[in-house]
Amino acid sequence: MPHPMVPSPYVITRAARAGHLRFHFEMPTGLGLKVPQTGEQRVRVDAGSLTLDICQECGLQRPTDPASLKQWSLPNAWLQSSAPELQRAVKSVMKPGQTQMQIMKRLGEVARARLSGVDYDGHYSARDAWKRRKGDCTEDAVLLAALARTAGIPARVASGLVYDRERFHGARDAFLPHSWTLAWIDGRWRSFDISIGTFDATHIALSLGDGEPEAILSGWQIGALLKWRAMAEIRPSTPARQ
Low-confidence ranges of the chain (pLDDT < 50): 1-2, 167, 242
Q: Nearest Cα to 7, choosing from 159, 166, 176? A: 176
pLDDT of residue 1: 39
pLDDT of residue 4: 66
Conformation bin of residue 100: beta by default, left when phi > 0, alpha when psi is -120 to 50: alpha
DSSP class of residue 168 equals B
Model pLDDT for residues 14-29, shown as the tens digit of each residue: 999 999 999 999 988 7
Q: Nearest Cα to 12, choosing from 157, 167, 163? A: 163
pLDDT of residue 29: 77
pLDDT of residue 48: 83
What is the model's pTM?
0.91
pLDDT of residue 138: 95
List of E strands, 67-218 = 117-118, 134-135, 155-164, 174-185, 188-192, 204-209
Model pLDDT for residues 33-64, shown as the tens digit of each residue: 889 999 999 999 988 899 999 999 999 776 68
Contact 39, 61 (CB under 8 A): yes
**In this structure, which CATH number among 3.30.70.120, 3.90.740.10, 3.40.50.300, 3.10.620.30 belongs to the domain 7-234?**
3.10.620.30
- C-alpha distances in angstroms, 74 versus 6, 178, 213, 218? 35, 24, 18, 22
Ordered by start, the domain boundaries in the chain are 7-234
